[in-house]
Amino acid sequence: MLAFGFLFISGSTLADATDTAVLRNKPALLRMSYEVLDIGSNETLGLAGVHYLVNVHPDWYVGASGFGALQGKRGGFFTGGFSVGTGKRFASKWLLDAGLFVGGGGGGSAPQGGGMMLRPHLDISRDVGGVLLGGGVSYVKFPNGGIDSSQLNLTLGIPFEVYYGRASASGKAVYSGDLFGLKLRQSEWLATAGEYRPADNAKTTAGAAMTASFKRVGFEYRRHLDAHRYFFVETAGAMGGQSDGFAELLAGAGYRVPLLSSQLHLGASLAAGGAGGGHVDTRGGLVAKARVGLDYDLTPALKLGLEGGRLESAGSFSANFYGLSLGYRLGEIGAGQGGQAWQGDEGVRLAKWRLVGVQQTSLAAARKSGGNRDLSLVGLKLEKFLTDSVYLTGQAHGAYAGNAGGYAVGLLGAGWEIPLRENGRVSFNAEFAAGAAGGGGVDVGGGAIIQPQLGLTWRLNHQLAARLEAGRVKALGGKLDSNLIGLGVIYEFSRPEYHY
C-alpha cells in the first residue's frame, strides 16, 4: 500500500553532472470527486474527495487522496491515503479511468470500525475547455467497520504538468533553455495558530451549550495569481480546550492590497470545506469561513500575519476566530496562464524534497474508556531540506487498525540527517515534531502532542529509499504516552524554486 504513492516520477532519471540541471516534466491531474454513501438504515453521507495524481506511464498513475464529509450528520469524518489507477483516452476528448484508493480515517461517530478504507472506482470523463468533467461508479468499504456502499459519483479534473529534477541535483541552477515559456508564480507556506470562540447559540453534538473556546494549529498553502489575487488550501486541528478531534480542511480565494508601504498588506478571503469532530456540531460537515487580515514582510522571504473572522457551519456551531501565521515565500515554476513570464536564467535552482509514506504503530496507546491498546496509522510526510542535513517536515496520519477509527494526527517539525557511509547509502536522522491529534477514543486531553523520533534510512536507488523509525508520542494534557515504531517508503526529488 505505501508504495502506491511513491512510485510516481520514478520512470525518468537525470544524468547531468555539471553545474546546471535539466528540468523534466510529467502529466498530472488534480481531481475533485463527490458521492453520497449509504452508511446505515435511512442514513447517507455526502463525501467529497481531492486527489493529486501523477502519471508514471502514459496509461498509469499514482498519488495521494483525501476525503471529507460535507452532508449528513457525520461532520468531522475524514480519511486519507494513496491511490493507483489506469486511464485510457479514446475518441480524442474522452477518458476512461479505473483505480483503487487505500487509506485510513473516520470520525463523526460513523461506523468506520478500525478506520481502514478501500475505494475502487470506474469513471468516464470528457475534456471540456481544458478541464475534465465526468462521473462513474465507486464502492466504499471499511473492512473492519460497518460502511459498505456502492454509489454513483461526479468528478472534476484539472490537468497540469509536474516539473522536477533528480534529488542529487539539488542546489544546481536550472538550464535556462528549460525555462522558456514557463511562468514564475509566487507561493507561500504558512504555519498557523489561533482560537475559535463559539457563538452564544453554538452547541455540542450532544445538545449541550458550547461555551469553551478552543485553540487550533495548522498549515496553509497559498498560490498567487497576480499581485492581488490568490487561492489557498488550509487544514488545522484542535489543540487545547475540550474539542480534541476537531479538524478542518478548506479551500478558498483571497484578495490583498498594499497598505501604507510595500511591506504591509491588507487582505480578505472566503473559503469553504469540511470540518467537525471533537463534539463540535457542524452537522454534515460543510462550513464556510470569511476573514480579514494584515501581512507584514519581515524579509523578502519571511512574513508575519494577523487575521480574524467568522466561521459558519451547517450545524449549530458558529464562531469568531483570530489567528497568527508565519509564512515562507518562494517562487515556483510552471506552465499555464497565471504568473509572470520567466525572463532570466538566474535564481532558479533545484531544491531537495521528500515524500514519505509511513506506517506507524503506537504501542499500548491510552484510551479514554480505560486501558491501553496498540494503534496503527497510515500517513504521509512532506520533508523540505533547508541545507544538506536540516529539513522541515509536515505530516498527516490516520488510524486504520486498533479500534480507533477517526483518530487523526497533524504535525509540524524539523529534523537533522547525516550519512553513516561515505557513499550515502545508509543515513541516520533525528526529528522533533509537535501538533494536534484527537478522535477515535484515544486519550490525548486537549489534543496537543509532541513526537520525537530517530530513524535509519537505506537508499534503494537514486529516487527510492526505505526507512525504519522509532520514537515516542506524548499528549501534553492526556494519558497518551507511548513508544512508536514505523516503516516508511521515501521518494526523493527536487523542485525548481526561485528564492526572493
d(CA 20, CA 177): 11
Task: Check whether residue 131 and residue 200 sit in a common domain.
Answer: no
| The pLDDT value given to residue 6 | 38
Residue 173 maps to a domain: no
Angle at 156 between CA 151 and CA 160, to 5 degrees: 140
Per-residue confidence (pLDDT) for residue 12, from 0 to 100: 39
Cα 280 from chain centre: 22
Establish if 218 belongs to a structural domain: yes
* Residue that has been written with the C-alpha cell 487505500 in this structure: 102
Do 412 and 468 lie in one domain? The reply is: yes
Distance CA 293, CA 267 (A): 5
Q: Which domain holds residue 315?
A: 183-334
Domain final residue, candidates 334, 361, 388: 334
- The cell numbers describing 319, all together, are 464562531
Distance of CA 264 to the CA centre of its chain: 29
Bridge partners (DSSP) listed for residue 37: 45
> Do 198 and 317 lie in a common domain?
yes
* Whether 106 and 134 share a structural domain: yes
Which are the contacts of 233, defined by CB distance < 8 A and separation ≥ 6?
Answer: 220, 221, 249, 250, 251
C-alpha cell of 176? 535556462
Q: Given this model, what pLDDT does residue 2 score? A: 38
Asked if residue 269 is part of any domain, the answer here is yes
The reply to whether 101 falls in a domain is: yes
C-alpha cell at 212: 469553551
Give the CATH number for residue 361.
Answer: 2.40.160.20
| 272 belongs to a structural domain | yes
422/307 same-domain check: no
Same domain? 133 vs 34? yes
129, three cell numbers: 475547455
Radius of gyration of the chain (CA): 22
Last residue of a domain, one of 309, 334, 359: 334
Q: Is 178 helix (H, G, I), strand (E, B) or coil?
A: helix
Ordered DSSP codes for 42-109: TEEEEEEEEEEEEEEETTEEEEEEEEEEEESS-TT-EEEEEEEEEEEEETTTEEEEEEEEEEEEE-TT
Q: What is the pLDDT of residue 340?
A: 57
Residues 248-262 have pLDDT tens digits of 999 999 999 999 999
- DSSP-assigned letter for residue 417: E
For 432, counting Cβ atoms within 10 Å of its Cβ (0-12 exposed, 13-18 middle, 19+ buried), the class is middle
Residues 148 and 285 in one domain: no
Residue 11 placed within a domain: no
Domain presence at residue 461: yes
Is 1 part of any domain? no
Total domain count for the chain?
Answer: 3
State whether 326 and 243 are in the same domain: yes
Q: 245 and 368: one domain?
A: no
* Tally of residues, the chain: 500
Question: Which of 334, 359, 393 is the C-terminal boundary of a domain?
Answer: 334
Query: Nearest-5° angle of CA 309, CA 310, CA 314?
Result: 155
* Per-block mean pLDDT, blocks of 10 residues, the chain (500 long): 39 46 87 95 94 92 94 93 93 93 93 95 94 96 95 95 88 77 86 95 91 91 92 90 86 95 96 94 96 96 96 96 94 69 66 94 95 94 94 94 92 95 92 93 92 96 94 95 97 89
Are both 33 and 145 inside the same structural domain? Answer: yes
Q: Are residues 229 and 354 in the same domain?
A: no
Does 450 lie in the same domain as 378?
yes
